[in-house]
């Protein structure tokens, strides 16, 4: 009986196919053609339209999750305070704050109704900022108190660090939806505009500027950010089809000549000043600097010798000093062209210059051509104070020590301006270093 039923169904299918085979064939053909037409339309028309809302940006640098650049993290969140382009502290998640107990106690009052990207409200209990040797206390749902052991005025800059909860859920315009790691280092992150999941920023990190520029030429990214030159092999990115170039100055980085104060010759202030006065008045690679504080900062002031370049003054200082007229500059490959410019400049006052290529800051050097990151706060205690390990020039000056100590202990902005005005005046006159330039940087976008 079962066999007869199977034969019946086979006969039925054959009869159906025989009667409607032309219709079945035509329907199948139309379906296949329709699929490929729809796929092609989506690939060449629909997908590109969607892709236009995805910005692929590349940066050079090696970063961990904890060291991602602030300008990227600020897309995702902000701190209790913010810092404007002039270095002024302005409200962030906190709409106001009080400083008590002679600068040792900070009380922050949170804006109500702020929510992280996961919809959880920001309260004093879930403020993630915590610091070593700083007592954190929740006073109520929207008030938080930090008590420091000693007064520390840069603390207001410290709490500008972005606030996060549960895997980078922030408060900003964009939410972090994906992070890709390679050996503990960030390879890429994906940012999605809060409330608009069709607009994204995919940010990729490359180990060198060369690798970054190659990625642009291969079409892996649409935009290159903050490269110091546009050259790539035998051409440059500005000549690339559809490329749009923007130029700016990076005031967060200061390229500097550090003088070893333990050197037999450079321990002499007159020789250091002579080297400083004989430097070129301008440099094509960036904006000439004469102070350790950026001109955009509200704490910047022009010291008396600001912008002074005079070979005759340099020769006069050298003529009264015991000097063999020979200098060795240690620098990285990146700054070798700048070292040559400096060598040519010093040659005009009779100094012979030798250049040594390094890959890291050496323990022993005569003159070091290197860059350092400028903090958002004017405090440079760790770089110039005589008891600090990062004082690579071995500079010692009791007046500078006192100014640096006072500058980080006083919260009043006007008083701090006066302190850092004196700091710039006395430091540049003593010349433990010559501040050269803020680097010129380029961003390139493919239209």
b/e string for 201-217 if b means 16 or more Cβ within 10 A?
bbbbbbeebeebbebbe
pLDDT of 49 reads 47
Could you give the 3-state DSSP secondary structure of residue 52? Answer: coil
State residue 150 phi and psi, 5-degree precision. -135, 155
Predicted TM-score (pTM) of this structure? 0.84
The CATH number for 80-151, chosen from 3.90.76.10, 3.30.428.10, 2.102.10.10, 3.50.50.100, is 3.90.76.10
**Sequence-ordered list of residues with C-beta below 8 angstroms from that of 9, at least 6 positions apart, any chain:** none
**Sequence-ordered list of residues with C-beta below 8 angstroms from that of 293, at least 6 positions apart, any chain:** 299, 300, 374, 378, 420, 424
The CATH number of 253-439 is: 3.10.105.10
pLDDT of 77 reads 95
Q: Domain segments of the chain: what residues?
A: 55-66+172-241, 80-151, 253-439
pLDDT of 341 reads 97
pLDDT of 28 reads 61
pLDDT of 45 reads 46
Using alpha carbons only, give the angle 24, 29, 35 rounded to the nearest 5 degrees.
125
Residue with tokens 């859920």: 169
* DSSP run (H or E) holding 70: helix 70-73
What is the rounded average pLDDT of the residues 388-406?
97
User: Residues 158-199: pLDDT tens digits?
Assistant: 999 999 998 889 999 999 999 999 988 999 999 998 877 778
User: Residues 79-123: pLDDT tens digits?
Assistant: 999 999 999 999 999 999 999 999 999 999 999 999 999 999 999
* DSSP run (H or E) holding 13: helix 2-41
User: Residues 336-374: pLDDT tens digits?
Assistant: 999 999 999 999 999 999 999 999 999 999 999 999 999
Give yes or no for a contact between 436 and 216, defined as CB atoms under 8 angstroms apart: no
Confidence bin at 241 (pLDDT 50/70/90): confident
pLDDT of 199 reads 84
User: Residues 410-440: pLDDT tens digits?
Assistant: 999 999 999 999 999 999 999 999 999 999 9
User: Residues 300-327: pLDDT tens digits?
Assistant: 999 998 999 999 999 999 999 999 999 9
User: Residues 22-77: pLDDT tens digits?
Assistant: 665 556 666 656 555 555 555 444 544 454 478 999 999 999 988 888 888 999 99
Residue 227: Cβ within 10 Å count = 21
């Amino acid at each position: 009986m079962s066999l007869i039923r199977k034969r019946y169904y086979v006969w039925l299918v054959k009869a159906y196919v025989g009667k409607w085979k032309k219709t079945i064939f035509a329907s199948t053909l139309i379906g296949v053609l329709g699929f490929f037409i729809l796929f092609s339309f989506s690939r060449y028309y629909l997908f590109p339209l969607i892709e236009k809302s995805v910005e692929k940006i590349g940066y050079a640098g090696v970063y961990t999750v904890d060291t991602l650049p602030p300008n990227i993290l600020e897309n995702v969140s902000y701190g209790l305070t913010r810092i404007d382009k002039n270095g002024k502290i302005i409200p962030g998640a906190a709409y106001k704050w009080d400083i008590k107990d002679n600068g040792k106690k900070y009380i922050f009052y949170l804006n109500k109704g702020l929510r992280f990207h996961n919809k959880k409200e920001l309260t004093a209990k879930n403020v993630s900022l915590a610091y070593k040797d700083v007592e954190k206390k929740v006073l109520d749902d929207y008030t938080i108190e930090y008590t420091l052991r000693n007064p520390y005025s840069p603390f207001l800059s410290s709490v500008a660090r972005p606030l996060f909860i549960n895997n980078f859920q922030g408060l900003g315009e964009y939410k972090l939806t994906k992070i890709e790691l390679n050996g503990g280092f960030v390879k890429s992150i994906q940012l999605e505009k809060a409330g608009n999941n069709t607009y994204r920023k995919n940010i990729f990190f490359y180990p060198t500027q060369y690798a970054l520029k190659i990625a642009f030429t291969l079409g892996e990214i649409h935009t290159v950010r903050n490269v110091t030159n546009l050259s790539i092999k035998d051409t440059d990115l500005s000549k690339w089809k559809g490329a749009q170039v923007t130029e700016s100055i990076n005031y967060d980085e200061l390229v500097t000549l550090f003088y070893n104060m333990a050197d037999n010759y450079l321990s002499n202030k007159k020789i250091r000043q002579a080297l400083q006065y004989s430097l070129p008045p301008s440099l094509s690679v960036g904006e000439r600097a004469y102070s350790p504080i950026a001109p955009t900062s509200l704490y910047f002031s022009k010291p008396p010798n600001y912008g002074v370049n005079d070979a005759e003054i340099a020769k006069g200082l050298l003529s009264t000093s015991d000097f063999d007229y020979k200098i060795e500059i240690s620098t990285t490959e990146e700054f070798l062209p700048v070292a040559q410019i400096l060598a040519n400049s010093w040659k005009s006052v009779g100094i012979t210059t030798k250049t040594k290529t390094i890959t890291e800051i050496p323990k022993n050097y005569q003159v070091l051509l290197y860059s350092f990151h400028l903090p958002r706060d004017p405090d440079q205690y760790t770089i110039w104070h005589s008891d600090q390990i990062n004082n690579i020039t071995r500079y010692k000056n009791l007046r500078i020590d006192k100014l640096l100590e006072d500058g980080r202990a006083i919260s009043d902005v006007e008083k701090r301006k006066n302190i850092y005005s004196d700091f710039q005046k006395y430091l540049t006159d003593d010349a433990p270093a010559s501040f050269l330039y803020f680097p010129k940087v380029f961003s390139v976008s493919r239209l």
